[in-house]
Amino acid sequence: MTGSAAETAPVMETATSWGRTERVVALTLHPVFASELVDRPGAGAMRRLPVGLRRSYGTTVLPEDEVVLDLTGLDRLVAFDPETRILKAGAGLSLDRLMRWSVPRGLFPATVPGTRFVTLGGAVANDVHGKNHASAGSFGRAVTGFTLLRSDRGVVRVDRETEPELFAATVGGLGLTGVILDVSLRLVPISSSDLMVETVPFGDFADFLALSEESLGRFEHSVAWVDCTARGARLGRGLFERADRAETGGLVPHDPGRGVPVPFDAPSMAMSRAAVSAFNRAHYARGRRKAGRVRTPYAAFFHPLDGLRDWNRLYGRNGFRQYQCVVPNEAAEAVAVMLDVVSGSDQGSFLAVLKRFGPIPGEGMLSFPMPGVTLALDFRNDGASTLALLDRLDAIVREARGRLYPAKDGRMSPAMFRAGYPALEDFTRRVDPLCGSRFWRRMTA
Ligand SMILES: Cc1cc2nc3c(=O)[nH]c(=O)nc-3n(C[C@H](O)[C@H](O)[C@H](O)COP(=O)(O)OP(=O)(O)OC[C@H]3O[C@@H](n4cnc5c(N)ncnc54)[C@H](O)[C@@H]3O)c2cc1C
């Protein structure tokens, strides 16, 4: 991080997000050293959008008129203190690389999202959550500080004590409060790289609620897959997984070579309602047969989709939309209403995930988690009919006083955003005057 190098030249590139619904040609910089950004002549006036590995699904990683700063080149480990277990690393370091370094040393990030191909900067800027939200909270909780490049203040060292507002604005701040150059993060000790995972089939949404209630405090991790094409008496059935670290076993990092690529955009039939329905029935039946407790390597439990590289191509050329909401516990029934709407529509979602968020508050002004139930759904992008379905789901979420996750969004209205995030006004005052994105332009138009 302290080195310097010849300035990297900007290039025109086509940018897209994980959902692949929009493509934008933009000037892009790939710095390898932080000094390339800090000392760059003319950088002071440049509108900018920092990005990581672009595992966000929608418009938060697409520029409007900004230069894209791809920070994945800032990927060095800077320092590690074994006493405090605090690691300092470049903001572009991925959790994939971090874990390959840390697991053999008996250490793990306190929170990992459903893919390991995310950078530290991206994980901070979305305050990402994992399957252990109820016991660990979200990513920002383990962050002890970071270095931020602001267009109006230059380089600022940010932590909870010296810059509490900037800390709270940047955690979950969607890359709008400045460019994160490095992150300091407290790792947690692990005794084994495996988990003991129990799979419990459930018959409907009420069973899911009972299982997640019973698992709170008893298991460190929990998550459920829900069959959202099932109707009638089977509505809301699924497979609940709950897990704890194994107490014995090796400290084996995941194999970086794993992952079968999807070589081309699948034909649109691949994700038709009929195909998804058939897949869901088979997946549920297989889950029922496998029910029980199994020792599972961490990558298979935390990041099952990483085993299929570029799986987003399965949705075809027009891409797909992910929809993730959270509703408070007292309005949890709203999720059953949403499942009913989805199962009655002609759109199927095979990646439908339910999780229970616990009471630990997010530290960011725009942190997504709140105590309650979160539902994430993927839909092939069928244009107007998909948007109409998502509008119907919005109305249910709003009525339930829930919110949508901006990391997954490419279409929510400014009113929906304002309704879900009461600290938005406070946040807006801390936005870097030269940072922006297509998402932010839509929210502030
Ligand atoms: C298969 C899959 C599973 C997922 N599961 C989960 C999950 O379980 N929980 C969850 O919370 N999320 C989940 N996500 C979403 C993903 O974790 C987040 O979108 C994450 O933030 C992506 O990190 P990234 O490095 O790709 O950042 P990007 O997607 O490139 O950027 C994310 C945000 O961070 C900002 N940003 C990136 N780098 C910097 C920087 N250096 N400085 C300032 N701002 C920066 C960007 O402007 C943007 O707003 C999942 C995504 C996929 C594809």
State residue 132's pLDDT score. Answer: 98
Task: Answer whether 222's CB lies under 8 Å from 243's CB.
Answer: yes
Question: Could you report the per-residue pLDDT of 347-399, keeping only the tens digit for each?
Answer: 877 789 999 999 999 999 999 999 999 999 999 999 999 999 999 999 999 99
Which residue's CA is the closest to the ligand 1 atom numbered 49? Answer: 174
State residue 224's pLDDT score. Answer: 97
Query: 49 C-alpha vs ligand 1 centroid, how far in Å?
Result: 13
Q: Which residues of the chain have pLDDT under 50?
A: 1-5
Task: Answer whether 391's CB lies under 8 Å from 321's CB.
Answer: no
Kindly list the structural domains of the chain, giving each domain's residue range(s) and its CATH number in brackets, ordered by start: 194-412 (3.30.70.2520)
State residue 349's pLDDT score. Answer: 79
Query: 52 C-alpha vs ligand 1 centroid, how far in Å?
Result: 7
Task: Answer whether 134's CB lies under 8 Å from 358's CB.
Answer: yes
CA torsion 380-386-389-394 (nearest 10°) is 90
User: What stretches of 295-332 show up as alpha helix (H) in DSSP?
Assistant: 298-302
Quick one: how far is CA 161 from the chain centroid? 27
Q: Quote the CA–CA distance of 222 and 8 in Å, as a whole number.
A: 44
Q: Quote the CA–CA distance of 171 and 408 in Å, as a whole number.
A: 17
Indicate whether residue 149 lines ligand 1 (CB < 6 A): no
Indicate whether residue 411 lines ligand 1 (CB < 6 A): no
3-state helix, strand, coil in the chain (%, to 5): 35, 25, 40
Indicate whether residue 133 lines ligand 1 (CB < 6 A): no
Q: Residue 366 carries which side chain, given as an amino acid letter? A: L
Q: Quote the CA–CA distance of 321 and 387 in Å, as a whole number.
A: 9
State residue 10's pLDDT score. Answer: 87
Indicate whether residue 322 lines ligand 1 (CB < 6 A): no
Whether the predicted model's global pTM rises above the 0.75 cut: yes
